[in-house]
Amino acid sequence: MLAGYAATVFISSALLLVLEIVAGRLVAPYVGVSLYTWTSIIGVILAGLSLGNWLGGIWADNGATSRSVGWVLAAGGLYCLLSIAILSPLGAAVQQQGLTLLSASFAFAAVLFFMPAALIGVVTPLLTTLALRLDPRAGHVVGRMHALAAIGSIAGTFAAGYWLVQSFGTRAVVLATGVALLALGAPFLRRSARPAQALLLVGVLAAVLLAVLRGGLVSSCDRESAYFCIRVVERPDLAPPDMARGLVLDHLLHGINHMTEPDLLIAPYVHGLDELAYAHFQGAYDDGLAWFFAGGGAYSQPRAVQALSPASSITVAELDPMVTLTAAESLGLEPASMTIEHRDARLALADTDQAFDVVVGDVFHDVAIPYHLVTREFATLVRERLAPDGLYLMNVVDAFPDPRLIKAIAKTLRTEFRHVDIWMDQVPKDPRVTFILSASNGPRLAKTVPARRGFQRAWSRMTEDITAYGTPPEEIPLLTDDYAPVERLIAGLLLGEDG
């Protein structure tokens, strides 16, 4: 009996942490993943667990039995099954309400995970109390139960993060978690009344049927990697059917490729990166340059460089091998003539002695900013790896007209580069803008850079205008490995109407 109680505490705790890890991936297609998303998820689950522990202790003192444990576990399993059915409608409702990122993240976490966390939280104090009736050594029993709950949580965390999500997909994992909770509670319900057991069975079947009818078992991802929910979407609005395809990572359209014209850059910021590089190097661009891309994504610009400057050498550091595989299978990438490293861009750049003419930073996934790629230390590394007249280009999402993160990155880059500029292709209609930054110790680019090919666009140097407006430079922090408050700097996108 004691062994059964201990195993139940261990397994239920593991299943709760599986849900916590899966939560980030479930909400990613709707609101993305950021520090605020994980804060909401962890906070809500801890709140549910705390409430469950408290209620479980009270219930234990008021005559709860092992049958009570069975019903709590069954309720948790049933709610997991229902959560699959309500996920898509909840996502649509949240998006229609136009909530901020913080509000949307909290809403998802509260609706989907507070209840199962509270129900599973009831289990440990109930079973600990029941175990004390069988073993009078209070210290041994309490310590053992708490240790098993902690070890189970650790096991669930590693199992979900390292294996389950990548192997089976999030919805299948949530379904399996619900079934596991039901199976875990079944031995405690053997002596329950037949009508109650029948009602539970009907509830389970109804939840599964609802999930099937609502498409809850059909993943919204083409692939689920260790990092992203990956989808490829057709964009017939931009080119004839099957000619333009977009790569969606989590909830963000991350790049658009023309399948038969790799040199046609559809996304304005990608087009801008290429045109600024050409304006800087002129004919040397055609003759061939050494390129380093921090981030591959849809591989839009590496494909264009392949087509426009076949003599160029191209190195891409893309963290997720599944993104590269998807680009090769569905987005026209021909990786044979590139050097592709599936690792962090900072590590890849640090481990090479090659001098690059161009370094392109395209790793900023919506408002999830890898802070270690915007610090002074990284800027120093980029300068060291660039040729004397080399060019560093990057794109970052921020709020117009006072983009505080853009100002902070520019201020940081100026510690290493003589010319640092901020570029825009038009006056934005929306406060959410993808800016381009350039940095070089070579000649400064002209005030306006028109497109030499493709779409009729032009990029204007807005450095002085943006720097002079809004937050003064002395209030903008210098970003370092020890201090890079990127979430605070883009709080307008995360918390306010700008997002």
> Is the Cβ–Cβ distance between 112 and 23 less than 8 Å?
yes
pLDDT at 213: 77
pLDDT at 217: 75
Contacts of 427 (CB under 8 A, 6+ apart): none
pLDDT at 494: 66
pLDDT at 499: 46
Chain Cα centroid distance, residue 86: 21
CA distance 179 to 177: 5
pTM (2 d.p.) = 0.86
pLDDT at 498: 47
pLDDT at 36: 78
> Which position has the token pair 């999402």?
397
> Is the Cβ–Cβ distance between 82 and 207 less than 8 Å?
yes
Write phi, then psi, for 262 (nearest 5 degrees): -65, -20
- 360: β partners: 293, 393
Number of H helices, E strands in the chain: 18, 13
CA distance 192 to 188: 8
pLDDT at 207: 84
Query: What are the average pLDDT values for consecutive 10-residue runs of the chain, which has 499 residues?
Result: 92 96 87 81 96 96 92 95 89 79 87 96 96 90 95 96 89 93 93 84 84 77 89 88 89 90 95 97 96 96 96 96 96 95 96 96 78 96 97 94 96 98 90 94 96 94 95 96 91 61
pLDDT at 236: 87
CA 444 to each of CA 279, 342, 389, 439, 473: distance values in angstroms, whole numbers, following the listed order: 10, 33, 10, 9, 21
CA distance 21 to 340: 29
